[in-house]
Amino acid sequence: MKGKYVKGATQGCLFRKFVDNHCYMSVQESEKIFQEKIDNEIRIEPKDWMPEKYRQTLIRQISQHAHSEIVGMLPEGNWISRAPSLKRKQILIAKVQDEAGHGLYVYSAAETLVISRDEMIEQLHSGKAKYSSIFNYPTLTWADMGAIGWLVDGAAIMNQVPLCRASYGPYSRAMIRVCKEESFHQRQGFESLLVLSKGSEEQKAMVQDAINRWWWPSIMMFGPHDTESQHSEQSMKWKIKRFSNDELRQRFVDMCAEQVKLLGMTLPDTDLKWNEETKHYDFGKINWEEFWNVVSGNGPCNKQRLDARRKAWEEGAWVREAAKAYAEKTAIKNKQEMAA
């Protein structure tokens, strides 16, 4: 099949026209066109032909992202009733609402790949689908709210900004919306810590303690070292992923190592040191044993988190059913009234 270059009608840009009538093509030809679109930063949309593995990889990645947003509401929801002021309470409620919204945008994107919401929820509750392991840690003090905003949302932003250019259209658009909202999350967290860091000795100690507990789990959010792994060259080729784990992690460390100075605090890493040659911060060894433990279900809060989600789903069933019954009843009533 040929592509021909045609001077497009709008603004004189060049468009490559693809012969894309897939019913007449072999799988190899379809894959070639598909890959060419990706290489040219053309988005793949729900009705486009795509390799089955691309679809399945995306379903897993996107649904697990959505699960992470929803489960992520729990550690912070914990402190809404105990926020130190009305302003902080309002801010925290707004942040948690946003996380619910993010989960919904991302579930919607996943559904375009032909999987139902119920099915995804069941995968989460059965343990078949995972969510980001950072949310399996407890939130022990008010300063944890600030630390989570600064570090956890910060790491999420680092991961999500490149995804705004992911190859799958609905996912990249969802990411653009998420990223716009996420920056307030990080700023409110840092600002909260900044205020505490100028307070009493106890408040300062609380900040340092929260940083000490959230730092290592946050940099673990980027996943194992690049060298540790099997292949995911495919995900990079398909532009579902744009940067490697270690690359993103290094950027994050460099950023936080500077920001922590403004808090007058330290990161709990005695090996953290500026490297004049590489122009990056060297940092210490990650405790991968803890990491794998938490991922495999033995973290401090794994059971709590899933129990809370299952409970919410089961106890909310009557609401879903009642709403549906009410809508059906109303529809019948309206039909009767129109007929009369």
Per the CB < 8 A criterion, the answer to whether 281 and 260 are in contact is no
- Asked if 323 interacts with another protein (CB under 8 A), we say yes
Closest separation between CB of residue 328 and another protein, Å?
A: 8
197 binds another protein (CB under 8 A): no
**Any contact of residue 130 with another protein (CB under 8 A)?**
yes
The length of the chain, given as a count of residues: 340
Cβ atoms 247, 176 nearer than 8 A: no
Sequence-separated (6 or more) residues with CB below 8 Å from residue 245:
222, 223, 224, 225, 226
Q: Which of 48, 191, 254, 290 binds another protein (CB under 8 A)?
A: 48
Task: List the one residue from 230, 270, 278, 336 that touches another protein (CB under 8 A).
Answer: 230
Nearer to another protein, 136 or 197 (CB): 136
Least distance in angstroms from the C-beta of 265 to another protein? 28
Subset of 231-270 contacting another protein (CB under 8 A): 231-233, 235-236, 241, 244-246
Site for another protein in 168-187 (CB under 8 A): 170, 173-174, 177, 181
Closest CA to 132 of 57, 222, 215: 222
Q: How far apart are CA 20 and CA 17, in angstroms?
A: 9
CA distance 41 to 221: 27
Return d(Cα 103, Cα 91) in angstroms, integer: 19
Helix (H, G, I), strand (E, B) or coil at 141: coil
- Residues 287 to 316: which contact another protein by CB under 8 A? 291-292, 295-296
Q: Is residue 216 involved in binding another protein (CB under 8 A)?
A: no
**34, 65, 151, 208: which one contacts another protein (CB under 8 A)?**
65
Closer CB to another protein, residue 215 or residue 238?
238
> With binding defined as CB under 8 A, does residue 206 bind another protein?
no
Q: Counting contacts by CB under 8 A, is residue 116 touching another protein?
A: yes
Determine which residue in the list 29, 32, 42, 49 makes contact with another protein, applying CB under 8 A.
49
- Termini Cα distance of the chain: 60
Neighbours of 314 (CB within 10 A): 10
Question: Are 250 and 197 spatial neighbours (Cβ–Cβ below 8 Å)?
Answer: no
Name the segment binding another protein (CB under 8 A); options: 78-86, 107-115, 202-210, 249-257. 107-115
Query: Of these, 36, 39, 90, 122, which contacts another protein (CB under 8 A)?
Result: 122
Per CB under 8 A, the segment of 94-102, 196-204, 249-257, 258-266 that binds another protein is 94-102
Compute the distance between CA of residue 84 and CA of residue 80 in angstroms, rounded to an integer.
9
**H/E element holding 190?**
helix 169-197
3-state helix, strand, coil in the chain (%, to 5): 65, 5, 30
Could you say which of 5, 13, 21, 40 contacts another protein (CB under 8 A)? 21
Q: What's the closest the beta carbon of residue 136 comes to another protein, in angstroms?
A: 9
